[in-house]
Amino acid sequence: MSDSIGKVKAQKVTLKGKFELECGQSFNDIELVYETYGVLNADATNAILICHALSGNHHAAGKYENEEKPGWWDSLIGPEKAVDTNKFFVVCPNNIGGCHGSLGPNSINHDTGDYYGPDFPIITVRDWVNSQAKLSDLLGIEKWHAVMGGSLGGMQALEWSYLYPKRIKKAGIIAAAPKLSAQNIAFNEVARQAILNDPDFEGGRYLDKSKYPKQGLKLARMVGHITYLSEEAMRSKFGRELKKEKLNFGYDAEFEIESYLRYQGDVFSESFDANTYLLMTKILDYFDPASNFEGKLVSAFESIEAQLLVVSFSTDWRFAPERSKEIVNALIEAKKNVSYLEIDSPHGHDSFLFANEDYVKGLSAFLEN
């Protein structure tokens, strides 16, 4: 059995200077937190950048002192795991706009002395990739051996491949899509409305007023969580199991799935920032690399030099295999080096977090070939 990387600590870095955003605004000096696992080799050719998804952060693997819960991709990152930390130097930053230490809506705006809150500019996947490129410079990594991620993380890996073609050898694009569908945006909108309409949201200035839109964020997460699971996974895990033996003809959580969702929503809303959640859903909605190329994904991919691996999961309906195939087909048409894996997994969109045997084998073959 593969081991965990063990105890880890977050690090902090400041990207000095003016940082222009796609929306036209800019930041001076950006603080980013990140974690690293493994050792960078002498010629800095073994570095892998991990990009996190909507609710993720820099804590991808290992455990913090006094904490039992490992990082979000601990199943795949560690010694002799899919991303083998005996071989690779792995870097995972918390993206700008995050709420776990990097510059985000819950940071203090030094110009005003208040929290950014709702004034935090809308960030894009491209802004993230640009900031990650600056982080690469600071870490002395000219070219990543690989950039990879799942879901929104996969979109960043894809963006890397055409934005910085010379700085990336491989891209792992997992459970992603070339852009959101109307249905995807619709779910995001429900999540946003839940937060925006919570009376404690206070127009996004809840931190200044010592309030917190917990109910809104909880509801947003509950909706999101449903889209991460497959119907099959929900049925086999919860079915119609009741918490008590019989129906009590009321509105308390009676079915197991209800209390599960409420619990997940509670836990999440206590550790995540509502403004960050709003921002993350917007970043997803805006991602559309073909939009600068008259809707032609093939043209967007023209500059790619990396070897790409696209992975999808059979029961993922948030970003179904068909969505990954849109990426793959455009890459084939653009005559790029692409491989595609469709993994049979019951866990829906969340499958990318599980160490499924075929998935692990495919990933490590790709990273190590």
Partner 1 sequence: MNTIEVIKNWIDKESEVLDLGCGDGEIISILSKEWGSRVLGVEINQDDINKCIQSGLNVIHQNIDEGLGNFSDNSFDVVIMSQTIQVLREPKKALQEVTRIGNESIVTIPNFGYWTTRINLLLSGKMPVTGTLPNTWHDTDNIHLCTIKDFENLCSECGINIREKCFFNKFGKESVLAKVVPNLFATTAMYKISK
Beta strand pairing status for 89-93 and 47-51? Answer: parallel
Total residues at the site for partner 1 (CB under 8 A)? 21
For residue 178, state whether it binds partner 1 (rule: CB under 8 A). no
For residue 207, state whether it binds partner 1 (rule: CB under 8 A). no
138 CB contacts (<8 Å, ≥6 apart)?
Answer: 13, 15
56 CB contacts (<8 Å, ≥6 apart)?
Answer: 72, 153
Which 3 state secondary structure label does DSSP give 334?
A: coil
Q: Which is nearer to partner 1, 107 or 312 (CB)?
A: 312
For residue 333, state whether it binds partner 1 (rule: CB under 8 A). yes
Tally DSSP H helices, then E strands, for the chain: 10, 10
Q: Which stretch binds partner 1 (CB under 8 A): 42-50, 135-143, 243-251, 321-329?
A: 321-329
Q: Which stretch binds partner 1 (CB under 8 A): 8-16, 127-135, 212-220, 359-367?
A: 359-367
CB of 239 to partner 1, least distance (A): 30
Residue in 10, 139, 332, 355 binding partner 1, rule: CB under 8 A: 332
278-317 footprint of partner 1 as x/- string (CB under 8 A): -----------------------------x-x--------
Residue type, 172: G
CB of 341 to partner 1, least distance (A): 5
For residue 337, state whether it binds partner 1 (rule: CB under 8 A). yes
Known catalytic residue: 316?
yes
Residue type, 321: P
Known catalytic residue: 349?
yes
Known catalytic residue: 151?
yes
For residue 340, state whether it binds partner 1 (rule: CB under 8 A). yes
Adjacent-strand bridge partners of 342: 312
For residue 341, state whether it binds partner 1 (rule: CB under 8 A). yes
CB of 89 to partner 1, least distance (A): 22
For residue 362, state whether it binds partner 1 (rule: CB under 8 A). yes
First to last CA, the chain: 22
**What letter would DSSP give residue 6?**
-
CA distance 323 to 326: 5
Q: Which is nearer to partner 1, 150 or 265 (CB)?
A: 150
Q: What is the dihedral of CA 81, 82, 86, 88, to 10 degrees?
A: -150
For residue 23, state whether it binds partner 1 (rule: CB under 8 A). no
Out of 102, 131, 349, 350, the active site residue is 349
Are residues 363 and 311 in contact, defined by beta-carbon separation less than 8 angstroms?
A: yes
Q: Which is nearer to partner 1, 111 or 357 (CB)?
A: 357
Residue in 259, 342, 354, 355 binding partner 1, rule: CB under 8 A: 342
In the chain, what's the furthest Cα-to-Cα distance? 67
Half-sphere exposure of 199 (CA within 13 A, CB side): 0
CB of 230 to partner 1, least distance (A): 19
CA distance 123 to 103: 11
Residue in 139, 215, 339, 355 binding partner 1, rule: CB under 8 A: 339
Helical segments of 197-244, H only: 214-228, 231-237
Q: Which stretch binds partner 1 (CB under 8 A): 43-51, 73-81, 180-188, 355-363?
A: 355-363
Residue type, 290: A
Which 3 state secondary structure label does DSSP give 169?
A: strand
What residue ranges in the chain does DSSP mark as E strands?
11-20, 26-37, 47-51, 77-78, 83-84, 89-93, 144-150, 168-174, 307-313, 337-343
Out of 84, 273, 316, 350, the active site residue is 316
Residue in 2, 325, 354, 355 binding partner 1, rule: CB under 8 A: 325
Rounded to 5 degrees, what are φ and ψ at 193? -60, -40
Q: Which is nearer to partner 1, 20 or 344 (CB)?
A: 344
Please list the active-site residues: 151, 316, 349
Q: Which residues bind partner 1 (CB under 8 A)?
A: 307, 309, 325, 328-329, 332-333, 335, 337-342, 358, 361-362, 365-366, 368-369
